[in-house]
Structure 1
Amino acid sequence: MAGKKVIVICQSSGEFETDEDGLLSYKGGDAHAMEIDDQMTYIDFKMEVAEMFNCNPSTMSTKYFLPGNKKTLITISNDKDLKRMIKFHGDSSTTDIYVMTEEVVVADVSNMPASRSSRTTLSEAGILVDAPPSVADDVVDDTTQPDLLLDATFDVIDDTTHVDAQIDIPPEMPCLLSFVGSNDEKHVKAAQLWQNNITGVGQRFNSVHEFREALRKYAIAHQFAFRYKKNDSHRVTVKCKADGCPWRIHASRLSTTQLICIKKMNPAHTCEGAVVTTGHQATRSWVAGIIKDKLKVFPNYKPKDIVNDIKQEYGIQLNYFQAWRGKEIAKEQLQGSYKEAYSQLPVFCEKIMETNPGSLSTFTTKDDCSFHRLFVSFHASLYGFQQGCRPLLFLDGIPLKSKYQGILLTATAADGDDGVFPVAFAVVDTESADNWRWFLLQLKTALSTCRCITFVADREKGLRESIVDIFQNEDVYHGYCLRYLSEQLIRDLKGQFSHEVKRLMVEDFYAAAYASRPEGFQRCVESIKSISLEAYNWVMQSEPVHWANSFFQGARYNHMMSNFGEVFYSWAADAHELPITQMVDAIRGKIMELIYTRRADSNQWLRRLTPMTEEKLEKERLKVRPLQVLISTGNRFEVRGDSNEVVDVDHCDCSCKGWQLTGLPCCHAIAVIGCLGRNPYDYCARYFTADSYRLTYTESVHPVPNVDMPEQDSSQGAVTVTPPPTRRPPGRPTTKKIGSQEIVKRQLQCSKCKGTGHNKSTCKELLSGC
């Protein structure tokens, strides 16, 4: 069905009729044709249909019949519904769609009867298009034009209020229609402060923009709508929107100055103000100015809350898109321009390395000077990793939901208390082999002197080849991420397996990876083989030497997943809406705070090891009592318990492999160390000591000064950076949590006692009751 196109016959303004057999047929109305395919989104489809019939998308619904069924109408309300409709009609060249508009009753107008779909209710009116370029004060950038607001007239018949489409729109002048339906005193309490914004002839303003803003607030306060007759950079003439109303104002520039002065004004209204016209000049720039202060305090201020607040405070009914656009402008005013942020990158990178000596901050552009990649690693992170962390790096990438999208590539480490320690990160356009290779090259340069490092990362996206190639002369190991491997295993299985069977295979796969000895690994893969020979072959061909504990040659300290840096990802999620320089600086601030907090906390520790390590060691100590140690004259000892193990104290080795896998003495090793009268602390890897932990957080990340504007010097050939060509797609971003979750085993629950860990057949309460 991929690529299948269907011609859709869209019909509206007709009526459904039912015959004797209960079959529906559609009579009358208008019909239009359009072509769609399975790549079209529901939002695009809905907007095209709304434009086709010149109706409001928010009050429009689309329905269709299933092939062979003329009794039930099926609603299209999201992307899945649209794709199903195309699939259901895959064998037909055309299909019929029925477009209906639904009327929503205004909250403060009671007893409003249902009306024809061609009538538009007070609260739902609103059509979005661009405004004329003459309104210069609302132009945000070269591609954004402001919204004009015109009013509508009312017909009052039998206490029922309707809005008629009697709107006088000049040719070539698209506009935004918005209406309010209440003059309640509490709704206009904030606007009352603006009633004297316009005082009369002779009043001066510093600019045309200032005059327009004052006029807009004045109109809102006095509840009337106006229309521009002239509107340019040096003169503005405005009249009341109501036909025949004499209210008029004219202002123009004072010669040889930039001041704007009101030259003529007729302040009298004969249109009875809001009773006749209730449209207001609520442009998106006005909305931005109103909400900016609140947005500064509440960054997650939602458009729907903006709509409610504006209605309560000013009596103006915005639609969702007006509020959203106003919020976007307010964010740009508070945070700065996305476009300017890219142009600031050259200076920003220099400032990072200047204020944090020993750091590496670099970027690249494409041939057209558009942004390509940015790499950042602070000296404090590099020093902390090399001096106090285990030689273990987790590589992962997460998508950014910013205006220009992109991917955040991260390299994180584990400190001595198993906390996330950020080492380096990069912002790139896509998660590709080329970008990962570039990231690893920068990382190697930043680390300067490499020691034996184990990377935990996906084997795809070119990482397997890049790690080997870039660190070919180093003692480096690549541990495949179990999360990505298990996901790929499920994707590659071609058999029809149930969810339960797939879950069992993944559990066996994890158990095989964590098994410390080859015989344990073999038992687990044989369990997979009993379910699916195909899955077994896949596992055996997936290079277990890179992911199974029993064969892996490097030191992973039992860390098997690359998404270790969940805390780091949450920082990016909180800052992804910011311009790129501010996003990086927000992450820098989080790293600075993290280092300071952990340094202060560790200074209070009184034990030799970190708190988490102390807990792990104590758990192993509790297992020592039933163990029996056979004394030997050499350095190898036999320990008997549930199994017989051989411990080599001098080489920190136990046949159970627990000591080697974690870097901490296992219970067998602790038993032998106790018999020798020695201290188990002396046999823990140095990375788990409190001293090493404090060494990790010795250096600080320093603040980076604000970069207001790029330092451009054409004589020296300054680098120009422009935004990448990618843009955020339309529609609301997904709210799916960043980072995949580990496979969680389903816990049994008893249907009798509701307890966990057993079922009804083994319930002790049931047996005792008998």
Structure 2
Amino acid sequence: MKEKAKERIYGQPKYYYKLLPWMCDKMVTTNPGTVVQLRYLSDEHFQQLFVAHAVSIQGFALGCRLVIAIDSSHMSGPYRGVLFSATAYDANDSMFPLAFGIMSSENYEDWSWFLQNLKKVVAEKEVVIISDRHPALLRSVPEVFGLENHAYYYRHLKENFSTFVSKQITKGNKGKENALQFLDSIAYAKLEHDYNISMYELRKYNDALATWVEDNSPEHWAMSKFPKQRWDKMTTNLAESFNVWLRHERHQSICNFLMEHMAKLGSMLVKHKEQSNNWKGSLGPQIEENVLQNIVKGEVYPVTPFMNGIFRVCIAVILSIGHNVADFVNECYKFPMQDLIYAGFFSSIETHDMPIVDDHGVVRSITGQVFLSLKPSHAKRPPGRPRKKRIEFQFQDK
């Protein structure tokens, strides 16, 4: 009954992709500058789709930091599909959707194609890509963006380390907890000196664990080792926010997904723009909270980027000379940058002239014009009810 209800709302599953070529053209004509790449096989079965709306491209170019989180999640429905996402940070450290893709599968070829299109969107800018260690990403990200620009999510690595620890340590939960604390110290050490001390302590504790760390490319996840500017971004929170943001839309047909995504994106842009106009000072509330936390801790705080590192100023010194700490925060976190990020205009698709699919599966306009139509991808969801319960990671905030 549930599937029949969906058919009444979204049409027959075999027709889901029929209107996709028309939809792609409409997205570009509605918002000029939007990048849409659609690939299909010679037998007209869907293969890959890449979308970056003009307002997202403009906002990223004008004000976002040069770090992009990429991730994937599965789409439901009778035909398998995978949603790829590329998400940036605005001046308040909130999610700023840059691009997404819908693929018939997830493999090296799919990720490579998606990343090559993403590379064209960011143009000549050198960006840092943060991802998990999916084998396809370990190969495709360095090929497209450079090995030195590939940072790994720490939480996934910590999960792997935790599994390894369980096999090495027989001291129970306390021993595992100590080992994980050593790893946190290594990952979040901001200076090479601190990293070396933490590694020394871990090696004294368990030589095999220290060797594991050295063998798992710390230059891609440890703060002090990563050669480029990653703005202290260590977790998967941003990419997962995108997946949660579209958790309901991912269960719809592909054309409905595209329209719902546009509606949500438009609402998000307006909301963030209005919220920034209500900032109490030059910093957004999330950044202001981070500054206050650092003031309480009396720690160093990142201010102006310089070459491959960051000048860091002791907050106690700033306060002692009577200055406002916010004045020393990098301009990328301040209102003028947020204003630039959300300066663009975005319109939803008008559907009054949307063609229809006739009884023979042909896409026609009301005047009889025939449009190119596609068939679903060859991969089809296996029978049975799909699993919807999300598997939680052990270290959600790491």
**What's the TM-score bracket when you normalise by the shorter of the two chains?**
0.7 to 0.9
Distance 2:315 2:17 in 1: 56
- SS of 1:444's equivalent? helix
State how 1:354-365 maps to structure 2 within 5 Å: 354-365=29-40
The letter of the residue matching 1:488 is N
* Contact preservation (8 Å) 2:16, 2:253: yes
- SS of 1:521's equivalent? helix
Deviation of residue 690 (structure 1)?
1.3
* Residue of 464, 469, 489 corresponding to 2:161: 489
Query: Which residue is 1:667 aligned to?
Result: 315
* Residue of 417, 424, 428 corresponding to 2:99: 424
Larger Rg: 1
Distance 2:341 2:391 in 1: 27
* Residue of 285, 289, 292 corresponding to 1:611: 285
* Contact preservation (8 Å) 1:369, 1:722: yes
1:477 aligns with 2:149: yes
| Change in CA separation of 1:496 and 1:545 when aligned onto 2, cut-off 3 Å | closer
* Contact preservation (8 Å) 1:658, 1:666: no
1:398 aligns with 2:70: no
| Change in CA separation of 1:455 and 1:666 when aligned onto 2, cut-off 3 Å | farther
Identity of aligned residues (%): 28
* Residue of 339, 364, 368 corresponding to 1:694: 339
* Contact preservation (8 Å) 1:431, 1:461: no
1:514-557 deviation per Cα after TM superposition (whole angstroms, max 9, x unaligned): 01123332343345445543332121022211111112121222
Query: Which residue is 1:522 aligned to?
Result: 196
Deviation of residue 393 (structure 1)?
0.5
Deviation of residue 701 (structure 1)?
2.6
| Change in CA separation of 1:622 and 1:493 when aligned onto 2, cut-off 3 Å | closer
* Residue of 241, 245, 252 corresponding to 1:571: 245
The letter of the residue matching 1:582 is N
* Contact preservation (8 Å) 1:412, 1:564: yes
- TM-score, normalisation: structure 1: 0.46
* Residue of 336, 342, 345 corresponding to 2:20: 345
Distance 2:114 2:70 in 1: 10
| Change in CA separation of 1:494 and 1:613 when aligned onto 2, cut-off 3 Å | closer
| Change in CA separation of 1:571 and 1:614 when aligned onto 2, cut-off 3 Å | closer
1:385-433 deviation per Cα after TM superposition (whole angstroms, max 9, x unaligned): 1212211100111122222122111111111111111111111122211
1:633-666 deviation per Cα after TM superposition (whole angstroms, max 9, x unaligned): xxxxxxxxx9xx9x999x778xxx8855xxxx54
Distance 1:482 1:691 in 2: 31
- SS of 2:85's equivalent? strand
1:693-712 deviation per Cα after TM superposition (whole angstroms, max 9, x unaligned): 12211213311133443756
The letter of the residue matching 1:554 is K
- SS of 1:342's equivalent? coil
The letter of the residue matching 1:688 is Y
- SS of 2:389's equivalent? coil
State how 1:224-373 maps to structure 2 within 5 Å: 326-373=1-48
- TM-score, normalisation: structure 2: 0.85
- SS of 1:567's equivalent? helix
* Contact preservation (8 Å) 2:22, 2:371: no
Distance 2:162 2:292 in 1: 38
* Contact preservation (8 Å) 1:375, 1:442: yes
1:387 aligns with 2:34: no
* Contact preservation (8 Å) 1:623, 1:667: no
Query: Which residue is 1:560 aligned to?
Result: 234
State how 1:88-167 maps to structure 2 within 5 Å: none
Distance 2:50 2:305 in 1: 39
* Contact preservation (8 Å) 1:436, 1:461: no
1:274-293 deviation per Cα after TM superposition (whole angstroms, max 9, x unaligned): xxxxxxxxxxxxxxxxxxxx
Distance 1:342 1:372 in 2: 11
| Change in CA separation of 1:359 and 1:445 when aligned onto 2, cut-off 3 Å | same
- SS of 1:382's equivalent? helix
Distance 1:648 1:698 in 2: 27
Distance 1:339 1:420 in 2: 34
Distance 2:145 2:393 in 1: 28
* Contact preservation (8 Å) 1:459, 1:480: yes
Deviation of residue 595 (structure 1)?
0.5
Query: Which residue is 2:223 aligned to?
Result: 549
1:509 aligns with 2:183: yes
| Change in CA separation of 1:342 and 1:526 when aligned onto 2, cut-off 3 Å | same
Deviation of residue 507 (structure 1)?
3.6
Which consecutive unaligned segments of at least 5 residues does structure 1 have?
Answer: 1-325, 625-641, 746-770
Query: Which residue is 1:734 aligned to?
Result: 387
The letter of the residue matching 1:537 is T
The letter of the residue matching 2:101 is A
Query: Which residue is 2:135 aligned to?
Result: 461
Of Structure 1 and Structure 2, which has the larger fraction of its residues in helix?
2
Distance 1:612 1:460 in 2: 31
Distance 2:87 2:66 in 1: 11
- SS of 1:421's equivalent? strand
| Change in CA separation of 1:535 and 1:712 when aligned onto 2, cut-off 3 Å | farther
1:594 aligns with 2:268: yes
* Contact preservation (8 Å) 2:53, 2:99: yes
1:616-644 deviation per Cα after TM superposition (whole angstroms, max 9, x unaligned): 333444566xxxxxxxxxxxxxxxxx9xx
Distance 2:391 2:255 in 1: 21
Query: Which residue is 2:356 aligned to?
Result: 709
| Change in CA separation of 1:554 and 1:409 when aligned onto 2, cut-off 3 Å | same
- SS of 1:701's equivalent? coil
Deviation of residue 380 (structure 1)?
1.1
- SS of 1:425's equivalent? strand
1:152-202 deviation per Cα after TM superposition (whole angstroms, max 9, x unaligned): xxxxxxxxxxxxxxxxxxxxxxxxxxxxxxxxxxxxxxxxxxxxxxxxxxx
- SS of 1:488's equivalent? helix
The letter of the residue matching 2:328 is Y
Query: Which residue is 1:451 aligned to?
Result: 125
State how 1:62-77 maps to structure 2 within 5 Å: none
RMSD: 3.2
- SS of 1:369's equivalent? coil
Distance 1:611 1:542 in 2: 36
| Change in CA separation of 1:658 and 1:443 when aligned onto 2, cut-off 3 Å | closer
Distance 1:648 1:709 in 2: 55
- SS of 1:516's equivalent? coil
| Change in CA separation of 1:505 and 1:604 when aligned onto 2, cut-off 3 Å | same
